Amino acid sequence: MSFHIVHNDIVRMKTDAIVNAANPALLAGSGVCGAIFHAAGYDELSAECRQKAPCPTGQSVLTSAYRLPARYIIHTVGPVWQGGEAGEKEHLASCYSTALETAMKAGCKSISFPLISSGIFGYPAQEALDVACQAIRTFLQCHDMDVYLVVLDRSAIQLSRHLTDELKRYLNHSFDEAEREEPGEICACHLEQDARADSCYGTDHFARPEKMGMGRHSLEQMIQNLDETFSHMLLRLIDEKGYSDVEVYKRANMDRKLFSKIRSHEEYLPKKKTVLALAVGLKLSVAETEELLDKAGYSLSGSQKRDVIVRYFLDHGEYDIYTIDKALFYFGEPEL
């Protein structure tokens, strides 16, 4: 189970199904619809669509994908924008829910959507995005499927003016802080730490274990006294916070199989983005997130845009993974 916004051409998506923003007659149109007919093979797809037309607004129809890398095309008819008072929102939500149900009945494990009705049908892009995200999230609460919302133009994904301004200020402040210490400079706090270390061990760092009396068995002793593993800390945090596994991996927008792998393999070390997603799923503070990252060999960096954006949401106690991913996409960063 996962939902991601991706920057791509939908005809290139190698999911089980791709969704076509169709017209009621299921004819080849312009935009996404025209591109899908062209890539799939106009004659073959048109012949099948003629047999299955018409399709009412908000409903979906399944056809073969022909020359596309997908197995199926699911044609769904979005509403034409009429100002928002003609049931457009309900019809648009129905497009996503009926397409997902059709995919599920066909045995699909993955599906790719365009942003339905946001082109020549005139639905405002931000409102169309909100409807899409809500409908997909509702479906994924009860079903497992990898869902992709595919946009060809990044500008289709927008944040609120307030959030955009806040994130820009936060990023600028964080980068200013990171740049105060130029590469090659030694921070005073590091000098203090080194001085304290040298007063305890002397200046020969390689001789420290001998000076501590650990002798030639020091490496073995250190290995026997390793810190808590990432997996142990993750499971401990889930218990301490009173969450269930399902709550955490769904809030983290994580596939159940990946979570099971982490849970069942004590030494498993996930990717950094996976740790950050789990921090969101666990609703961790910044300090707790840094500790969890450390268990997997990572850290929160003040000079990496993705890390700073995630830190902003953790700082503000905002743990909606889809909002975070949308912000990352907006700033050109990989999603969690």
Q: Percent of the chain at pLDDT above 70?
A: 85
37-41's contacts with Cβ under 8 Å and 24+ in sequence apart are 39/11, 39/67, 39/68, 40/11, 40/65, 40/66, 40/67, 40/68, 40/73, 41/66, 41/67
Same-domain pairing of 149 and 231: no
pLDDT confidence of residue 210: 45
Higher pLDDT: 255 or 108? It is 108
pLDDT confidence of residue 267: 85
Which range marks the domain in which residue 101 is found? 2-156
Whole-number Å distance between alpha carbons of 39 and 164: 37
Helix (H, G, I), strand (E, B) or coil at 100: helix
pLDDT confidence of residue 137: 92
pLDDT confidence of residue 56: 97
CATH code at 256? Answer: 1.10.260
| 118-132, 158-172, 209-223, 267-281: least confident range | 209-223
Same-domain pairing of 17 and 119: yes
Mean pLDDT of the chain: 87
Same-domain pairing of 36 and 135: yes
In this predicted structure, the answer to whether residue 243 has a pLDDT above a threshold of 90 is: yes
Q: Which residues are bridge partners to 21 per DSSP?
A: 76
Same-domain pairing of 117 and 7: yes
Higher pLDDT: 59 or 212? It is 59
- The dihedrals phi and psi of 113, each to the nearest 5 degrees, come to -110, 145
Q: What is the pLDDT of residues 200-209, one digit of tens each?
A: 333 333 334 4
Whole-number Å distance between alpha carbons of 219 and 214: 9
Q: Decide: residue 123, CB within 10 A, 0-12 exposed, 13-18 middle, 19+ buried.
A: buried
What total of structural domains would you count in the chain? 2
Same-domain pairing of 6 and 113: yes
Is residue 182 in a domain? no
Same-domain pairing of 235 and 151: no
Same-domain pairing of 16 and 114: yes
Q: What is the mean pLDDT of residues 123-128?
A: 92
